[in-house]
Chains A and B, each alone.
Chain A
Amino acid sequence: MAGDATFKKSIDTAIKNPKLSEALHLFGDAYLVARQNAFHGLDFEEMRREMADIKDEVRINRKELLTEFITNAEKAGSTVFVAQDVQEANDYVINIARKNKARLIVKSKSMVSEEAHLNRALEAAGIRTAETDLGEWIVQLAGQRPSHMVMPAIHMFKEDVAKLFSKQTGKELSPEIKTLVNVAREQLRKEYFDADIGLTGANFLVAETGGIGLVTNEGNARLCATLPRVHIVFAGVHKLVRTIEDAIKITRLLPRNATGQLLTSYITWIRGTVPTDGEKKEQHIILIDGGREKLYESKACRDALRCIQCGACANVCPVYQTVGGHVFGSIYISAIGIILTAFYEGLDKAKELTRACIGCRSCSAVCPSGIDLEEIILHLRNEVTGKYGMGVIKNVAFKAIMKNRSLFHSMVRAASKLQKPIISKVSGGDSPPIIRHLPLHFMAKDFTEWRDLPAVAEKSFRDIFDTIEQHVENPQYTVGFFVGCGADFVYPEVGVALIRVLNRLQVKVVFPKGQNCCGIPALYAGDSETGIDLAKQSVRAFSDAEVDYVLSICPTCTMGVKRDFIKRLSDDPDWSEKAQTLSEKTMDASLFIEKILNGSEKISGLENLITGENVTYHDSCHLKRGNNVWQEPRNLLQSAGFMVTEMKNSDRCCGFGGTYSFLSHPQISKQITTDKVIAIAETGVKTVAMDCPGCMMMLKGAMGKANGSIRCVHTIELLAAAIVKTDK
């Protein structure tokens, strides 16, 4: 519990200091543009599939490749040591240093050495270290740790750096970046010449040649590997690749995805004991396991070792942008940092981090190695819950209420009548939890200060479905509607609108009443048991209904049904087959209308369309990155006569993230939402369309307080309004 409190406090501190967050936002925006240019004319998806294959092949054959690397490196004169843990690795370095009577080691960037706290170990042994990467040096002088893998000192400003450098040089330095870079150049140049040992990391280890590769911009790694007589390579065992060609493929992805550069200034390939000052260099390669084998063995998490350390998963992460890497990470930061922390430092250390992820999937979308980071984080969150529990409120709610469909639904009905918090009488515990309406809405008190809470609809969709008349002359398809909690209890009008639109396009809609919540909120909170139960209820309901397709207007539910049900039920052959069948039939409503019905062509052909207004479109995280749908709703809106004005970063998270915004981290959520509200307002457009009830709750609520004149609607509602008069 102490951990929780400290973590919350660090978030508060970060949020109260918006300067860092502003800088990270600017960086994030510029990054996206640079990255897009860098991949111009290349097929990123294809490239990352290939990278994933390369790295997976390494995983499978890692023992053989390691042996091959060692043999080849030794043939070229290198000494290779495989360290089981960081302690062994540090001791080995100290030993080499002692043998060489070394007093100074110059270092270029090695994240593993951060992981090993190597500098600390060396200083304790009386050996001085000088970091030579500018960012690392700044962080070293400040006595801090890097807050970003590629830009270690991204959290600092030039004034901070000037102060540090002034102290270091004993001269009063102005906070001018050029001057500061020059100071580093001068100060460190001497160190390379004085050093007894140069220590570098490695971006790759080529098994076929026994050589290593360094990808850098500043030129410090080349100096570290050249000037001192001894060269130590300090790297993780997972940096192996089979061939030079595979390594080249890393160099094609890494700089482009890290900083939007086509290539870094230097790529340095070194094999063996190259000449130094008239003799042969002494080269030691230390390969560190430090938890990597355990990670390789974890089926659910092992893809994380495909990481090529581009840092992109931080650049695009809304949580990272809001609180920075010192809060959202440990040695390694942001999405990949959560996973590596769990394996290298222990699940306990990663506990709060797993809960701080909002689940927007930006990291998974940007990763050049095709790591589904968000999914792995979700898995770890489940483990955290299994081990540490998930806190009283969620526990009672999910377990006792969610699983019992009629109880849950009748509670919601009751809530709609009272329109105020209701008290659960369901479970034990002295102070019964307050439950507000929905599985997503377990109240946090400070929440209403900055946004309105959505009111529960007077009648839920499931209560009005039977009263909706459907007129379909020649039904082309019959579809089942997976309503999802948001549309069921808060925005039933979206469900009604969907029926209007589908009927107009000759599709009949059925509503299996046995369906329940998709279970994602429970799952995201780490309660997989409830998730399994809920999946079964819905799979049963839809298997019994005879439908061609199953549609949802909530992308989170679509993901749940399409992807997660199969996984949740995979242990049970009967259920898993049914889940598979349901998955194949399920899709997002906009996608169905556009792809299966050819909707934009049909809609634009309708007579008497009401001329649409100007709208802007918000891409929901789970629609774009979970379902790969973003063009379809835009096409449909345009076909119905709406003009779509794009907002800045339309696919950036709105801050919702389910229970996240209510319970886990309302402060972070608020910041992310504020960004979105500004982006929308900047378009000058008065209507923002989206395809997700979660985003609707978030944005309607925030707009209500921030800018009441902007309307937030579901795409389907706009379509229904446009075709209203086209019937006869």
Chain B
Amino acid sequence: MSNQQQVEKFMEMAGKVGAETVKLVDLQSVAGYIASQVSGQTLVPSTFLAEKHGLARLLSSSGVNVFKGDFRGADHVPAAGVTFSNFALADTGTIVLESTAEDIRLATTLPEKHFILVDPATILKDNLAAAAPMNVFHAGNDPVFVAYITGPSRTADIERVLTIGCHGPRELHILLVDGISDDMMEN
């Protein structure tokens, strides 16, 4: 599969599990997109890529209410969280996010909506292909927390009826932007 096909497959599969997928040209349009979707408190963890690309600043200047301070002091259900990702899996529409830093975990588990940026160059074929980068995450003995995210939170526990948004985000927006970082160890 060419990368182009892999990107198509990824978008198709992510769409099937209820994620929104959007291709955007740059970080500026990312900020614009997010600003059009949220009005409340937005958690933007300060990660390597967020700093590199000045994400929080871009969002603020587009009018997004970027939360400042300790994330544990934010609302129990903040309006949104915005993060980068490490890589993605085409065949299941999954995003992989190394989330050892607590802020990343809070920004992806608590909010109503999760916006996640993906560089199409990091889309792998399937979860078997994820074994190699997963092993790199686990090199050494440091504590690690890695999240695979496939669509929004869901449940079928009442009468087996699929219902979106049980404990995690009710919406997952995947924003594909070229050239963010093709290094799968960065987020």
Which A residues are within 8 Å of any B CB, using their own CB? 23, 27, 30, 72, 75-77, 132-135, 138, 151-154, 156-158, 161, 177-178, 180-182, 184-185, 188-190, 193, 208-211, 217-220, 222-223, 225-226, 244-245, 248, 251-252, 259, 261-277, 280-281
Contact B158 A211 (CB under 8 A): no
Residues of A within 8 A of B158 (CB): 134, 138, 153, 156, 158, 161, 177, 180-181
How far, in Å, is A305 (CB) from chain B's closest CB? 24
Residues in B neighbouring A185, C-beta threshold 8 A: 165-167
- Decide if A277 touches B127 in the complex (CB within 8 Å): no
Question: Which B residues are CB-close (under 8 A) to A219?
Answer: 109, 153, 166-169
Q: Offer 8 A-B interface pairs, CB within 8 angstroms, sorted by A.
A: A23-B159, A152-B157, A185-B167, A209-B144, A218-B155, A223-B109, A262-B150, A265-B150
* CB-based contact B157/A266 at 8 Å: no
A189 touches B76 (CB 8 A): yes
B128 touches A151 (CB 8 A): no
- Name which residue of chain A comes closest to B146, CB basis: A269
Interface centre among A77, A210, A226 (most CB of B within 10 A): A226
Interface window among B24-32, B40-48, B115-123, B135-143 = B135-143
Most buried by A among B77, B148, B169: B148
Contact A222 B156 (CB under 8 A): no
User: Which of B102, B168, B169 is within 8 Å of A274, CB to CB?
Assistant: B102
- B: interface residue count bin: 35 or more
**Complex partner residue of B102 from A156, A262, A271, A277, CB under 8 angstroms:** A277
Cβ of B1 within 8 Å of any chain A Cβ, yes or no, is: no
Complex Cα spacing A276 to B155, Å: 27
Q: For the complex, what is the distance from the CA of A220 to the CA of B109, rounded to whole Å?
A: 9
Q: Could you say which of B72, B130, B143, B154 contacts A265, with CB atoms under 8 Å apart?
A: B154
Candidate in A182, A190, A265, A275 with the most chain B CB atoms within 10 angstroms = A265
Given known contacts A151-B160, A226-B102, A268-B145, is B150 in contact with A248 (CB within 8 Å)?
no
Q: How far is the CA of A266 from the CA of B161 in the complex (A)?
A: 19
**Does B106 lie at the interface of the complex (its beta carbon under 8 Å from any beta carbon of A)?**
yes
Known: A226-B109, A265-B168. A151 touches B157 (CB 8 A): yes
What total count of A-B pairs have CB within 8 Å?
A: 175
User: B167 contacts A132, CB within 8 Å?
Assistant: yes
Most chain B C-beta atoms within 10 Å of own C-beta, residue among A138, A154, A217, A244: A217
Cα distance A271–B105 in the bound complex, in angstroms: 14
Within 8 Å of chain A (Cβ to Cβ): is B81?
A: no
Chain B residue nearest to A78 in the complex (CB): B143
Identity of the chain B residue whose Cβ is nearest the Cβ of A77 in the assembled complex: B143
Contact status of A157 and B166, CB under 8 A, knowing A270-B144, A276-B102? no
Report chain B residues within 8 Å CB of A211: 138, 144
Contacting pair A138 B109 (CB below 8 A): no
Q: What residues on A are CB-neighbors of B86 within 8 Å?
A: none
Interface centre among B102, B109, B135, B166 (most CB of A within 10 A): B166
Question: Given contacts A190-B76, A244-B135, are A265 and B163 in contact (CB under 8 A)?
Answer: no
Task: Give chain A residues whose Cβ lies under 8 Å from the Cβ of B93.
Answer: 262
Chain B residues within 8 Å of A193, by CB: 76
Contact between A158 and B159, CB atoms less than 8 A apart: yes
CB–CB A268/B147 < 8 A: yes
Asked whether, in the complex, the Cβ of A188 is within 8 Å of the Cβ of B138, the reply is no
Name the one of B72, B163, B166 contacting A277, with C-beta atoms under 8 angstroms. B72
7 A-B pairs with least C-beta separation:
A219-B168, A272-B143, A135-B157, A267-B148, A218-B166, A75-B141, A219-B153
B91 within 8 A of A: yes
A665 to chain B, nearest CB (A): 26
Residues of A within 8 A of B177 (CB): none
User: Contact at B100–A274, with CB atoms within 8 Å?
Assistant: yes
Instruction: Tell me, in angstroms, the Cα distance from A436 to B6 when the chains sit together.
Output: 66
Tell me whether A178 and B163 are in contact (CB under 8 A).
Answer: yes
Inter-subunit contact B161/A222 (CB<8 Å): no
Q: Which residues of A contact B34 (CB under 8 A)?
A: none
Contacts of B152 in A (CB 8 A): 265
With A and B bound together, what is the CA distance between A272 and B140 in angstroms?
12
In the complex the two chains form, what is the Cα distance from A376 to B83 in whole Å? Answer: 49
Residues of B within 8 Å of A267, CB to CB, are 147-148, 150
Distance in angstroms from A625 CB to nearest chain B CB is 25
